[in-house]
Amino acid sequence: MAEQEAQTPEKHLSVVKIYVKDFSFESPQSPNIFNAKEWAPSTNLNLRSSHSPVSDSIHEVVLTITVDAKEKESEKTIFLVELQQAGLFDIGGYEKEEMSVLIGSFCPGVLYPYAREAIAGVIQKGGFPEFVLQPINFDALYQQSLQQQQAEAAPAETH
């Protein structure tokens, strides 16, 4: 029994570092866009995460968010923000499935508030009204991603 406990590594998870890996802001219609009488852009949010192991227990997770705001009438870009919010996480002792959940859901959830703040700040500094990204349920997104992967992996039925 004592041997089995010694062989089972203790589960641990900690944030080592959170940082901006890449960040860009474009406002191609400045300064003319500030003369617009109405402010009602259509916005598109694109979100994805990636993972790469750095060492045995250190993992880099990168949350990439793109926000594209366009004029509703002309479809011209008002502003475009692209952010790669990254973090180093020390994770160990978990089974493969548990690791997958941590890296696909938990870690992006830790990074998201930092990304929200950075994006809101740069848009406001760009001269635009306050922009608030809504909370995101990363657990639901992760489950949806798993279901999509399973559906793609399943062989097509023939009749």
Per residue in 133-149, pLDDT tens?
999 999 999 999 888 88
The string of pLDDT tens digits covering residues 9-55 is: 799 999 999 999 999 999 999 998 888 777 788 999 999 999 999 99
* Share of residues in the chain with pLDDT > 70 (%): 92
> How far apart (Å, rounded) are the C-alpha atoms in residues 70 and 4?
59
pLDDT of 6 reads: 55
Helix %, strand %, coil % of the chain (to 5): 35, 35, 30
> Residue 4 pLDDT more than 90?
no
Confidence (pLDDT) at 91 = 96
Residue 72 pLDDT grade (very low, low, confident, very high; cuts 50, 70, 90): confident
Computed over every residue of the chain, the mean pLDDT equals 90
Half-sphere exposure of 141 (CA within 13 A, CB side): 16
Structural domains in the chain, sorted by start: 10-153 (3.10.420.10)
Q: Any idea how long the chain is?
A: 159
The reported pTM is 0.85
Q: What is the pLDDT of residues 93-130, one digit of tens each?
A: 999 999 999 999 999 999 999 999 999 999 999 999 98
